Structure formats: C-alpha cells, structure tokens
C-alpha cells in the first residue's frame, strides 16, 4: 500500500512538474523578455499582472470556458 501511495504521489508530482515546465515555456515563447528577469522580478511582474482587471477577467473567462467544456464532457 505504501508503494502504491508513493507511486501515485510521484505521478502527481511529475504531472505538476511537466505542467509547470510547459506553461513556463509558453510564457517565455509569448514574452521572450521574461527570460532576462530574475525570479523575484518575474514574480513581481506576475503579481502586478494579476491585479489588472482585464487580466483577471481573461483568466476567469478561460477558466469558465474550460469548466463548461469539462461539464459537457461529463454529461456525454
């Protein structure tokens, strides 16, 4: 049982790492200048971006669209 839990934990951790890497690569692809920022500078940028109403609305729109598609998939 412990091995199974460890395996599932490893799988979840690997999936998260993959997701973070691919999304970070997407950000760098769209905004190449972020490659030059230090980690604290990048976090500051993201924090400021998260306070912009248009960005908040866009993220909420994307999440809602995703959730609606997922709900339709469950019904089917």
What's this model's pTM, rounded to 2 decimal places? Answer: 0.71
Q: Where are the chain's structural domains?
A: 1-35, 37-76
**DSSP per position, the chain:** -HHHHHHHHHHHHHHHHHHHHHHHHHHHHH-GGGGGS-HHHHHHHHHHHTT-HHHHHHHHHHHHHHHHHHHHHHH-
**45, 50, 53, 56 alpha-carbon torsion, rounded to 10°:** 140
Write out pLDDT tens, residues 25-74: 999 999 999 999 999 999 999 999 999 999 999 999 999 999 999 998 88
Which tokens in the block code for residue 49?
């971006």
């Amino acid at each position: 049982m412990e091995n199974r839990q460890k395996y599932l934990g490893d799988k979840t951790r690997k999936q998260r790492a993959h997701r973070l890497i691919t999304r970070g690569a997407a950000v760098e692809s769209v905004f190449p200048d972020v490659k030059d920022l230090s980690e604290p500078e990048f976090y500051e940028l993201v924090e400021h971006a998260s306070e912009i109403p248009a960005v908040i609305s866009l993220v909420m729109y994307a999440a809602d669209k995703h959730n609606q598609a997922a709900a339709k998939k469950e019904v089917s």
